Amino acid sequence: LNNIKKIKSYSSNIFISEKTSVIKTFLQNNKYSKIIILVDNNTKRYCLPLIIDEFDEPNNFEIIEIESGEENKNIKTCIQLWSILSQKNADRKSLLINLGGGVIGDIGGFVASTFKRGIHFINIPTTLLAMVDASIGGKTGVDLDNIKNIIGVFKEPQAVFINLNFLKTLPQRQILSGFAEIIKHGLIANKTYWNTITKSSLSDNSQLNILIKESINIKNNIVKKDPFEKDLRKILNFGHTIGHAIETFALNNSNTDYLLHGEAIAIGLICETFLSTKYLEFDTKDLNSIANFIKSKYNYYHINQSNYPKLIEIMIKDKKNHDDKINFTLIKSIGMPEINIYCSISDIYMALDYYKNIYTNNIEY
């Protein structure tokens, strides 16, 4: 078992290895009646060939393919998947393998957890975002009525298999999307890691490898202490109150450019670091350097001021909030997060303006 790193999650294991035989070993140790691999059109083409040899006979497994994209992460797709599982006579001893990014992991995890009151599933993340974030921690679910992740359950996969070889075919824009979650991990976890992140090159595999392992550890350690997001886990929401709202807004406005999850989170990280200066006396020099670092990696996304109220409306509907208040995780300093901070609408507007100014006028705070 050389070269296989095994990390304990709260109820199973995360394996980090470039050897796909770890999957075979897992399957041999767990006798499943049927194996179903869920893919999208891209992961079928680019990722399935890398692991297909680990499945003994072709009769032993079946493949279900869905269209890629967030717009398919909904209950309609779930119904199709439940029907297919039922037609294929999947039983309680069947295993669903989620081979793909966060969309496949979220929907597959939810479908598996609800089919016949729950069948086992494993995650084989194929995007950077899914490796360092979505595949870990047991959050599964789908979008409904244009609200992201509003239907779902907490259910950990039986195992997660991280293999960096999948990233070879992943478009650069998707790599950057995942990198936003790595930036978030640095900002909430520790200054040393943050410094490593700012100096790392994403095109250098060994440096990327270090970031992936460290980010998995950070996320996993937080989830283990608070699997159902009662308190501590909320620190992972840094950047996500505003980020999610912008992501939802972009998803529902066909006349604006589409945004990837991490691209929206990158904007959220700038805005919420700005709010941290207002509410927790976060250092303004650090704010400007974080914002400029993010600016050096991500393109500008224009949000008209006339759309700010729409964003607030989306934030109020967010499942993290109650009593019409908007709940934030902010940071006192790099590595010192604080949860349950309520920010005023006028300060949120200022944060959105700060984002706009730093990109378009180089105006720092």
Ligand X SMILES: NC(=O)c1ccc[n+]([C@@H]2O[C@H](COP(=O)([O-])OP(=O)(O)OC[C@H]3O[C@@H](n4cnc5c(N)ncnc54)[C@H](O)[C@@H]3O)[C@@H](O)[C@H]2O)c1
What residue ranges bind ligand X (CB under 6 A)? 40, 42-43, 46-47, 68, 70, 73, 100-104, 106, 126-127, 129-130, 133-134, 137, 139, 148-149, 166, 169-170, 174, 177, 261
Find all residues with CB under 8 Å of 81, minimum gap 6, and list them: 38, 64, 66, 107, 108, 111
Residue closer to ligand X by CB (options 17, 126) is 126
Q: Of 115, 133, 117, which is closest to residue 125 (Cα–Cα)?
A: 133
> 141 and 134 in contact (C-beta within 8 Å)?
no
CB burial class (10 A; 0-12, 13-18, 19+) of residue 348?
buried
Q: How far is the CB of 131 from ligand X (least distance, A)?
A: 9
Calculate the CA 62 to chain-centre distance.
Answer: 26
Find all residues with CB under 8 Å of 185, minimum gap 6, and list them: 132, 193, 214, 215, 218, 219
Residue closer to ligand X by CB (options 11, 60) is 11
Q: How far is the CB of 70 from ligand X (least distance, A)?
A: 5
Q: How far is the CB of 214 from ligand X (least distance, A)?
A: 17
Residue closer to ligand X by CB (options 40, 286) is 40
Residue closer to ligand X by CB (options 32, 152) is 152
Residue bearing tokens 């939802």: 248
Q: How far is the CB of 59 from ligand X (least distance, A)?
A: 26
Q: How far is the CB of 4 from ligand X (least distance, A)?
A: 20
Residue closer to ligand X by CB (options 42, 288) is 42
Residue closer to ligand X by CB (options 264, 330) is 264
Calculate the CA 277 to chain-centre distance.
Answer: 26
Residue bearing tokens 């039983």: 91
Residue closer to ligand X by CB (options 147, 350) is 147
Q: Of 103, 124, 119, 181, which is closest to residue 155 (Cα–Cα)?
A: 119
Q: Which residue's C-beta sits nearest to ligand X?
A: 102
Single-letter amino acid code for the residue at 260: L
Q: How far is the CB of 68 from ligand X (least distance, A)?
A: 3
> 287 and 365 in contact (C-beta within 8 Å)?
yes
Q: How far is the CB of 104 from ligand X (least distance, A)?
A: 6
